[in-house]
């Protein structure tokens, strides 16, 4: 299975926005669910959001109404639009299938701080 490359992270002030991208080598069309995960310092990796091929979405409670996951099967890319960011969103963000079956990428660091 193909490589996953996440990008779009950075340092942002509380209340700011970022858009993460995940480019997959190899088709994601065959993956029923794609997802974003995150791992904060000292914590386990957790699911943030997932999206099915017919674009049904799921979000953990702490990001509902602030984050939006989307996918473009033609471009083999998954996105995560993050608005109204909070310090507790600080983490390394990863994408993968749900449940994760591909090798993990390097992730992209998101730091929310004033």
More confident residue, 62 or 29: 62
Residues 68 and 105: their CA atoms lie apart, in Å, by: 21
pLDDT of residue 48: 98
Mean pLDDT of the chain: 95
Q: Band of the pLDDT at 52, cuts 50, 70, 90?
A: very high
| Mean pLDDT confidence for 102-114 | 96
């Amino acid at each position: 299975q193909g490589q996953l490359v996440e990008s779009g992270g950075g340092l942002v002030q509380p209340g700011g926005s970022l858009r993460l991208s995940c480019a997959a080598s190899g088709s994601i069309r065959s993956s029923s669910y794609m997802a974003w995960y995150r791992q904060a310092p000292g914590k386990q990796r957790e699911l943030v959001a997932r999206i099915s091929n017919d674009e049904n979405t799921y979000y953990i409670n702490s990001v509902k109404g602030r984050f939006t996951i989307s996918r473009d099967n033609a471009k083999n890319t998954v996105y995560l639009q993050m608005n109204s960011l909070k310090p507790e969103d600080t983490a390394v963000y990863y994408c993968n299938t749900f449940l994760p079956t591909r090798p993990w990428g390097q992730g992209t660091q998101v730091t929310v701080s004033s």
